[in-house]
Structure 1
Amino acid sequence: MERCWPIVQVVPKRVWEIGAAARVLDLAGNCLKRFPADVQQLVNLQKLRLSGNGLKDEQLDWQGLGMLKHLTTLALDHNMFTRIPAEIGLLCELKVLSAAHNKMLHIAEEIGALSKLEKLILSHNCLKELPPSLGHCCLLVEADFSANFLREIPASLGQLTKMKVLNLDHNALRSFPNEVLKGCVELTTLSLHGNELTIQYLRQLEGWAEFDVRRRAKHSKQLQFSVLDSSGGFDEGADSQQWSHW
């Protein structure tokens, strides 16, 4: 579909004129040079989308962003950010955080202050570790960390009793904590393809049997959807042979 609106490099003046009346701001697919501290004028903003702007760390004023106390959705996908800083913890109403397809190297521990977070998408980044404080995001239902460089995940994720979907495909995982299988009592989708562990390894973990019951129950109800892998069989969530990561 042909784009029918102009590409902007600065936040349009009209946005600041609307000010506190603004609830949704979608600036995706532009060429913003920066997203300034003036954003704190939008005190009632609930949804902010900055995806696909090529923004770098220094071009986003996180201090201003942290003043948006009513923000529930923040989309930062397809930019060039290398970190999510401590100010993320100020967004106490945030329910959805999506920052896929960036160059993320670091996620601040303060992300654990997001007690209302339900969906976290950090796929296709450069993460080698996750902050243990993620275990404090007690309402988290879905998390996608696929296509990173993770070698382990914190056992504290086992505290996420509402978690239903956890995607860790295409990382460098060599082990998996029992605590996640035992503690995430609503987990029904766990995807670990393209890691340095096998389905045989997972079957030996404490808590796997209980998880397997939930997973198969979901599968039996959704045969018409994508729970079947490309071979038409039941996808057990991991590879039968070990992958090697160079």
Structure 2
Amino acid sequence: MGCCSSKSGRYAPNQANLWRSTGIVALRDRGLRVFPNEVLEVDRFIRTLDLTNNRLVMVPEEIGNFRNMQRLVLSQNSIERVPGSIGNIISLKILTLDSNKLRSLPDELGLLVTLEQLSVARNMLTSLPETLGNLKNLFILNVSNNNLKSLPQSLGSCLALEEMTANDNLIEDLPHTLCLLGRLKSLSLDNNGLNKLPPMLLKECRALQKISLYGNSISMAEFQQMEGYHEFETRRKNRFDKVIGSNVMINCRGLDEGISF
């Protein structure tokens, strides 16, 4: 099952000891087709596992044995399925599965109650599990470049969520439960099929200060007529003033920074 870099078909003898001592396994750009046996054998010592840009087509069931892992990065592979055993990684805080071939995510993802960042951009997802609502510590979610037609109602239970990016999907309607996200600061929904927003979004999402709706059928005039628009505009301008005050370079949008149609 293992794949390696040495002539003997195994990693250097001290490699496993290094992984044990540092807790970090970084095997990017190695042409790996499967998880190396050597990695599976040190499962409980691993805190960070990065297998970006390989040729993996599956995640083994044994991934559930990595119970102390906090960061799992499997971007730029050909993974078609994530096993339900991933729900056993109770310490996981960051999960990145960008640029794979995923069509669905397991319901067990909702067991990752310590998860803070989830990115599944550039896959083939047609839906997200309702169990995402169990992720009470999630503050960054990126589901861009998929085939999503909707977002789960349960997202309204992700009360820690601060940044959600869902560009380049097929989303036609947003769940009204998004209005429950009192900490949401940034919402990006470019290039979808939206023609309206939840009526109370700007009023109830009291932290929202940046929104992007480019490529949808919502006009600026319609947006400005929403309840809570003036409060949103005040937050947006305050945020922009802080950016200027911090001497951050202003982009070409100038004072439009924070809103895009």
- The match for 1:136 is 157
Q: 2:72 aligns with which of 45, 48, 64?
A: 48
Contact 2:46 2:69 in 1 (8 A): yes
| In 2, Cα distance between equivalents of 1:105 and 1:180 | 24
Is structure 2 residue 225 aligned with structure 1 residue 204?
A: yes
Contact 1:198 1:238 in 2 (8 A): no
Partner deviation per Cα, 1:193-212 (whole Å, 9 max, x = no partner): 11101111100000111101
SS at match of 1:65: helix
- The match for 2:100 is 79
- Number of corresponding residues: 233
| In 1, Cα distance between equivalents of 2:249 and 2:145 | 21
SS at match of 1:120: strand
Is structure 2 residue 198 aligned with structure 1 residue 174?
A: no
SS at match of 1:210: helix
Bigger Rg, structure 1 or 2: 2
- Amino acid in structure 2 at the alignment position of 1:204: Q
- Offset, 1:28: 1.1
Partner deviation per Cα, 1:26-62 (whole Å, 9 max, x = no partner): 11110013211111221111110111111113xx31x
Q: 1:67 aligns with which of 59, 75, 88?
A: 88
SS at match of 1:43: coil
- The match for 2:243 is 222
Is structure 2 residue 148 aligned with structure 1 residue 127?
A: yes
- Offset, 1:234: 2.3
Is structure 2 residue 30 aligned with structure 1 residue 6?
A: yes
CA RMSD of aligned residues (A): 1.8
Q: Percent identity?
A: 33
- The match for 2:6 is none
- Amino acid in structure 1 at the alignment position of 2:70: Q
Q: 2:216 aligns with which of 180, 185, 195?
A: 195
Q: TM-score, normalised by structure 1?
A: 0.89
| In 1, Cα distance between equivalents of 2:225 and 2:106 | 37
Is structure 2 residue 259 aligned with structure 1 residue 237?
A: yes
- Offset, 1:238: 3.7
Structure 1: gaps (5+ residues): 240-246
Q: TM-score, normalised by structure 2?
A: 0.84
- The match for 1:32 is 56
- Offset, 1:5: 5.5
Structure 2: gaps (5+ residues): 1-26
| In 2, Cα distance between equivalents of 1:87 and 1:183 | 30
